[in-house]
Amino acid sequence: MALLEVTDLGISFGGLRAVDELNMTVEQGALVGLIGPNGAGKTTVFNMLTGVYRPTDGGIRLDGENLVGKKPHEICKMGIARTFQNIRLFNKLPVLDNVKTGFHNEVTYTLPESLFHAGSYRKKEKQMDEKAMEILKVFDLDGQWDYKAANLPYGKQRKLEIARALATDPKLLLLDEPAAGMNPNETAELMETIELVRRRFQVTVLLIEHDMKLVSGICEYLYVLNFGRLLAQGTPVEVLSNPEVVTAYLGG
């Protein structure tokens, strides 16, 4: 059974059919790309997968469990974590605490323990500090753990978002244009980090990218979306040589 199964997924906003009859599967451990021109509906797919939008048609299953109708925080508990195209960090919190919020359902203690700083409070906080620093190290953010998230440079903010998502210990990680706004060097480095993360955290990755060439380097399989519909799918080589895909990109 595939980790993620999307069947005949569709959503309408008023008269606009943003996504239509989308079928998609992501196997355990895979690194899959979701590509397509601007406005194709890629982010809308992520919003449906994470419960931000409720699809008007179709089904979504994670490990065989239905996700449609679940709230975003419940879907996170079931094992999907994500980043956002327009970065959404907890700007006033330190970098370290941004990651620690990601442990919210992983490392827990009760409200009385937190009001009195009693019981397992100290032990669990220490455990979270250590785990958070470990994750920050992977993204080379450990030197700036006490910065306010808002004061990080742009590229590092993108990385921090991935770090926070990984803290929730997801089965499936959704990355929405993680390289947007980065220069080619930063992008190449980020792609390496994503490869590394995938092995280290044993996480399946579904990645949105606007730039087709860029993902073809690391993704094993690609889904191409155009005007809300699936235009093509296959290995990067297959997809890149598909004339329809080429026209969609040149036309868009």
Partner 1 sequence: MDMIKHLMETRRDSVIAFGIVIVGYVVMQALMATGNLSYTISGLMVPICAYIVMAVSLNLTVGILGELSLGHAGFMSVGAFTGIVVTTVLAGSVELPMLRLAIAMVAAALAAAVVGVIVGVPVLRLKGDYLAIVTLAFGEIIKNIVNVLYIGLDSRGLHFGLVTPRFTLEEGGKMIINGPIGVSGIDKISTFTAGFVLILITLFIILNLINSRQGRAIMAVRDNKIAADSIGISTTRYKLMAFVISAAFAGMAGTLYAMNYSTVTAAKFDFNLSILVLVFVVLGGLGNIWGSVIAAILLTALPELLRALNFNDYRMLVYAVLLIALMLFNNSNFKQRLLERRAMKQAEKEPKEVA
Ligand X SMILES: Nc1ncnc2c1ncn2[C@@H]1O[C@H](COP(=O)(O)OP(=O)(O)O)[C@@H](O)[C@H]1O
123 touching partner 1, by CB under 8 A: no
136 touching ligand X, by CB under 6 A: no
36 touching ligand X, by CB under 6 A: yes
**Cα distance between the two ends of the chain:** 35
Which of these ranges, 66-74, 197-205, 226-234, 238-246, lies near partner 1 under the rule CB under 8 A?
66-74
Q: Residue 146 binds which entry of ligand X, partner 1, Mg ion, none, with Cβ cut-offs from 5 to 8 Å by kind?
A: partner 1
| Closer CB to partner 1, 141 or 230, in the complex | 141
Binder of ligand X out of 13, 66, 117, 192 (CB under 6 A): 13
The CA distance from 69 to 174, in Å, is 19
Q: Which residues on neighbouring strands pair with residue 19, listed in sequence order?
A: 11
Contacts of 22 (CB under 8 A, 6+ apart): 6, 8, 9, 10, 45, 58, 225, 228, 229, 230
Subset of residues 163 to 182 that bind partner 1, contact rule: CB under 8 A? 164-165, 167-168
100-106-111-114 Cα dihedral, nearest 10 degrees: -40
Binder of partner 1 out of 1, 16, 115, 250 (CB under 8 A): 115
Contacts of 174 (CB under 8 A, 6+ apart): 46, 49, 50, 80, 81, 82, 83, 206, 207, 208
The CA distance from 235 to 224, in Å, is 11
- Report the residue closest to Mg ion, judged by CB: 43
Phi-psi category of residue 228: left, alpha or beta, with phi > 0 → left and psi -120 to 50 → alpha? left
The CA distance from 40 to 43, in Å, is 8
CB of 46 to partner 1, least distance (A): 10
38 touching ligand X, by CB under 6 A: yes
Exposure class string for 101-129: b at 16+ Cβ within 10 A, else e: ebbeeebebeeeeeeeeeeebeebeeebe
| Closer CB to partner 1, 39 or 72, in the complex | 72
52 touching partner 1, by CB under 8 A: yes
Q: Residue 39 binds which entry of partner 1, Mg ion, ligand X, none, with Cβ cut-offs from 5 to 8 Å by kind?
A: ligand X
72 touching ligand X, by CB under 6 A: no
Write out the residues near ligand X by the rule CB under 6 A: 13, 16, 18, 36, 38-44
For partner 1, the binding residues (CB under 8 A) are 50-52, 71-73, 76-77, 81-82, 84, 88-94, 96-97, 100-105, 107-109, 111, 113-117, 121, 124-125, 128-129, 133, 142-148, 151, 164-165, 167-168
Q: Contact residues for Mg ion (CB under 5 A)?
A: 43, 85
